[in-house]
Amino acid sequence: MNVFLEAQHLGLDLPIFTQEQRNVKATVGLFLRSAFQPPKRELRTTLDDVSFRLEPGDRVGVVGRNGAGKSTLLKVLVGAYPPSRGGLEVNGSRQALLNLALGFNQEATVVENIMLRGIAMGLRPAQAAAVIDEVLDFSELGEKAGHRLRTLSSGQRMRLGFALATAVQHEILIMDEWIGTGDASFVDKAKNRIRSRVDNAQIVVLASHNFSLLRSVCNKAMLLEGGKLLALGDVDEVLKGYDELLHMPHGDASPAVQAMV
């Protein structure tokens, strides 16, 4: 199968809720208005005319300043947000390593959650059942198998989310910079597994601010600014352009970026 990920003139508008400027010194009025004045809903363009095609062997870092649209682009690529304009074509199985704590059912047991979330991630019921033992083993939660999720600590939930999200190798891996919050031995184990999933994926998309991580994982990078794709190319060149951009006011393109576009 020819694995690829293609975005064609992709655009996304998200609703934002704004409030008229209030006089914070008029305390009583402030309380009344914050209780009764409805917010205004506006649509804001978060991704604007983003086009690229990724092929097997592409390991692409997604960089840009805070609020540039990196996480939003990843959410569109994993199918969490449908694009408002343009199209996204994905050929191959994809796995998101984004918010590992999301999507659990607090009232269901650990094993039930592995089944439910495994199926939600696209596994067939038999495949989800087949990974239960491995997920319990990797997350070191065997003795909690029949416990309700709400009784787990946040670190234990993170282990479960990580073990489940990485239980199966996929062709396309879409991930945020992964910062381990578990104890040191789990973080080491998790890093080894991530490395193996990255090495064996055909396409990797990694959003991060960490240049050394990006250079060690990626061969290409894309630079976003204000929801637009400014550059896509060799990782070292794009990081150089991004580094220059970081020292410029918003809206100005750095010389290295201008040379790339």
Ligand X SMILES: Nc1ncnc2c1ncn2[C@@H]1O[C@H](COP(=O)(O)OP(=O)(O)OP(=O)(O)O)[C@@H](O)[C@H]1O
Q: Which is nearer to ligand X, 66 or 212 (CB)?
A: 66
- Positions touching ligand X (CB under 6 A) are 14, 16, 46, 64, 66-72
Of the two residues 46 and 202, which places its CB atom closer to ligand X in the complex? 46
Between 46 and 139, name the residue whose CB sits nearer to ligand X: 46
The distance of closest approach from Cβ of residue 207 to ligand X in the complex, given in angstroms and rounded to an integer, is: 6
Q: Closest approach of Cβ 44 to ligand X, in Å?
A: 6
> Of 149 and 173, which CB lies nearer to ligand X in the complex structure?
173
Whole-angstrom distance, CA of residue 114 vs CA of residue 111: 5
Residue type, 160: L
Nearest distance from C-beta of residue 100 to ligand X, angstroms: 16
**Closer of 72 and 254 to ligand X (Cβ):** 72
Separation of first and last alpha carbons in the chain: 32
CB 87 within 8 A of CB 50: no
CA distance 109 to 32: 43
In the chain, count H helices and then E strands: 9, 9
Residue 47 Cβ vs ligand X, minimum distance, rounded to whole Å: 8
In SS3 terms, 1-19 reads as CCCEEEEEEEEEEEEEEEC
Q: In whole angstroms, give the CA distance from residue 107 to residue 102.
A: 14
User: In the complex, what is the shortest distance from the CB of residue 226 to ligand X, in angstroms, rounded to a whole number?
Assistant: 9
